[in-house]
Structure formats: C-alpha cells, structure tokens
Amino acid sequence: MRRSEKGGVPMDANERAEFVSLFPVWDHLSPPEQEETIRQARVVHYEDGRRIHQGGDECLGLLLLRKGGVRVYMLSEDGREITLYRLDQGSACILTASCVLSTITFDVHVDAEGETEAYLLDAPYWAELCRQNIYVECLSYRLATERFSEVMWAMQQILFMSLDRRLAVFLSDELVRGGGDTIHLTHEQVARYMGSAREAVSRMLKYFSSEGIVELSRGGIHIKDKKKLRALAAH
Amino acid sequence: MRRSEKGGVPMDANERAEFVSLFPVWDHLSPPEQEETIRQARVVHYEDGRRIHQGGDECLGLLLLRKGGVRVYMLSEDGREITLYRLDQGSACILTASCVLSTITFDVHVDAEGETEAYLLDAPYWAELCRQNIYVECLSYRLATERFSEVMWAMQQILFMSLDRRLAVFLSDELVRGGGDTIHLTHEQVARYMGSAREAVSRMLKYFSSEGIVELSRGGIHIKDKKKLRALAAH
C-alpha cells in the first residue's frame, strides 16, 4: 500500500513542491522542522473503497490528499453508516490523527473514495510537531473545528429531516409529472415551488449529487438513482 | 442583566483571582494583554432558563462560567430541540463566540441552567486577542474541538441508540447531576432535552413504570430501581 516506508525513497522535487503547497502552516515551521517534516512524509496509496482508518484503531496520522478523496462516517454497532463529510484533493484529514488530540474522544471511520493518494505524516511525528510548534497544534484544532461545522450540517439534515425529505418528495413528484429522467427547473424554481430558501435547496442538491442521487447541469436536475430518491422520500 | 458594562465597575481582588484561574492560557498572555483582558472582562448574570445566545444572532463572546451552567442545543424549524452538551461552572463556552472563528459555520442556541454567572469577554475583543496571540487562537479551536467530541457523543446516542436505552442513559445522567432519587422534569422537558417526541417518551416512561423502574407523579420521575435503570443504560 505504501510506496515509500519511512527512511525509504525520498520525495522528488515535484512532490516536495506539492507537499509544501498542501501543508497549511509551512511558513511557520523552522528550517530544521521543514527538513524533518519532508523527511518524515510518505506517499500512501489507497484503492477505491479501501478502509483507511477505523474507530478504536491505533491512529494513522495526518493525511494531505493529493489525489482522490475520503469519506468520513460513523458506524453503529448494527452496521448502519452515517456519512459525516467528504474531503477532496487538497484537503488535510485530521481525524486520521485523532489520537494526537486528547480532546477528540470519538471514533470515526474513513474510507478512500476513488483511487486515492496522500502524503502521510505519521501520528508519533505529528504529535511531536504539535508539541514543539504552537502553529501546528493550532492547525490541528482548526482543522478539527472545520470538520465540526461539516458534521453539524450533516446532523441537522439527518435529525431534522425536513428539507432533504421534502426535496426528495418534490423531485419524485416532478419525475412522475414529467415522465423523463431530468427535471428542467432551476434551483431558484425548485426553491420557489417548495417554499424554501434557494441557498438551502442548492446546498441540499449538492449533497444529493455527492450521494450519487442526482447529477446537476445547466439543463436541470438529472435523476441518477431513482430507487435511492424514492427511499429518501418515503422514509 | 449585566452588572458592570465595559469601563464600568472594575473587578475586585477576589474576582480578579477567580477570573485568572478560569482563563485557560493566562500565562501565555503578555503583561499588557493580561491588563487589557482584565479591563475588558465583565460579569454577566442570567436567570435560570434565559436564552444567552441564539443562531443567527450577532455573537456575544467568550463566557467563563463562575456559577450555574449552560445548555447548548440545536433548534429545528418546527421547534424541536436537540441538546448537544451542557457546561458547568469552571468551563469556557466558546460557541457564544462562534463568529470569531470563521471555521464555525453553524448556529446553536445556548440557555442558562440555574442562576448563572460568567465573565464575558466580548466578541470584538476576543477576535482581537485571537489575532494577536496564537495561544489564544489555539485555545479557541481547542475548546471548539472539545465540544465537537461532546456533540459526536450526543449524536451517537440519538442516531444509534434505541429509545429505551437513550431514556435510561438520560435518566441515569440526570440522577447523577441532581443527586437525589427524583428527577423534577415533565415528560415534555425530558422529550425536549432528548430531542424526541413527547408521546414516545411518555409511552416509554409508562413502560419503565410498569417494569418497576420508575414511579411517575406530578412532581416528576422517581427512580425506584437504579440497578435496573443502569443495566438498561449500559446494555
């Protein structure tokens, strides 16, 4: 899975430049910290769908995503999954280094979505860097706080259910009315017909899109997964 | 509501000492920052149940709780509440200063529980201090990350636990908080704090009563069999 183990193949100049661009507080590292960080970084590969991190596991470390993405979710004892958020290329995944932050006391699962490549700074090194550089420690907490916001949004959708269900019902009804697979309405129109705020509808449509339920284009809303849509509407 | 407005009555020596003990990174402030922070701090009072902060509001600032406590919750459009966590005396409430952290993009409500007193550093001053002192910025994100953990715990209860178990956990926690054998809450309140429907909670309480776990009266919920309750909470 890992191309270069610690102390293995060093990064080439391009990788080095990319790594630096992905590392959010690079300029706050001292030159020796920069050197050591470059030395510690490893390139890791994950196939689509591969489990990267799981609750209760010893933790991996900080991932800087250079390709692909990850899905972060909670898993219940009986196997139900709740997607909390997704991270794309260019993002830093801190919850794979949750053990470094003593204030994080929950477990999540992280899976690769698509062929995924990342720079990994392993947990012991990340912990050391957090201890010695307040900007790195602050970065860790700031990243965690960003994820907190994403989780809160997901939770509101899940717990209060109104908008996603209403939108699913609306789209299902429109499908029946129109007869095809595509609904030729703008987000503005959908929002107006539903009596909701356009931003909220747009955001929810984006969420539907990330879940593979719809595909958004200039021409309208194409329904990709009718079964999933109906399940959402009916639930 | 506020005893001393900015530039009003200065803190006395006891209050000053208490304030310093409640401020988590005091030793990382420069002497001029310490002086200014003392000068900016105000004592605020809230009656039991009073709304301290609400979503969409301009934000208040950092609260350092010296007495009483707060309940932090989400509110749906149709008025359902989901309790996210509670903070007691000695804690710092950062979500009342959420506007200071650009990474926090969600809204919560904060109510006083019991007669509550706090030191307030208002949002503009807190923002300034975050900008000029990395330890203060880091503290803000660290506090937010702690709350993230509490929210994740609450979410797991809500999303994954059956109602009987959630109710048992809730009643057990309330017993510990209150200290006695009786929980002085109406079914309505229990349902609100748990983020559940009142009918469902009432039905479950009746079931608990028929099982000899609780006794229901006008005054509240009397726990008859703590062992059984704990077993249910733990199962």
A161-234 sits in which CATH class? mainly alpha
* Banded pLDDT at A9 (limits 50, 70, 90): low
Q: What is the pLDDT of residues A180-230, one digit of tens each?
A: 899 998 888 887 776 667 777 888 898 899 889 999 988 799 999 999 998
User: What span, in angstroms and rounded, lies between the C-alpha atoms of B108 and B106?
Assistant: 7
Which one has a higher pLDDT value, A29 or A155? A29
Q: Name which of B145, B153, B155 is nearest A103 (Cβ-Cβ).
A: B145
User: What span, in angstroms and rounded, lies between the C-alpha atoms of A140 and A134?
Assistant: 10
- With CA atoms as reference, the chain B residue closest to A159 would be B159
User: What span, in angstroms and rounded, lies between the C-alpha atoms of B100 and B93?
Assistant: 13
- The residue-averaged pLDDT of B199-210 equals 84
ipTM of the complex: 0.74
**Cβ-Cβ contacts under 8 Å, A74 against chain B:** 152, 155-156, 159-160
Show which of residues 72-131 on chain A sit within 8 Å of chain B, judged by CB atoms.
74, 76-78, 80, 82, 101, 103-106, 108
Q: What is the pLDDT of residues B4-48, one digit of tens each?
A: 344 446 788 999 999 999 999 999 999 999 999 999 999 999 999
Cβ-Cβ contacts under 8 Å for B105 (sequence gap 6 or more) = A149, A153
- With CA atoms as reference, the chain B residue closest to A137 would be B138
User: What span, in angstroms and rounded, lies between the C-alpha atoms of B96 and B232?
Assistant: 35
Would the pTM of this model clear 0.95, i.e. be above it? no
The answer as to CATH 2.60.120.10 being correct for domain B13-159 is yes
- The residue-averaged pLDDT of B63-67 equals 97
- CA angle B75–B43–B55, rounded 5-degree value: 15
Q: Name which of A76, A137, A159 is nearest B138 (Cβ-Cβ).
A: A137
Domain ranges across chain B: 13-159, 161-234
CA torsion sign for A33, A34, A39, A43 is: positive
Which one has a higher pLDDT value, B59 or B1? B59
Q: Name which of A77, A144, A156 is nearest B148 (Cβ-Cβ).
A: A144
Show which of residues 159-218 on chain A sit within 8 Å of chain B, judged by CB atoms.
159-160, 162
**What count of Cα atoms within 13 Å lies in the side-chain half-sphere of residue B70?**
30
Taking alpha carbons only, the member of B235, B234, B194 closest to residue B221 is B194
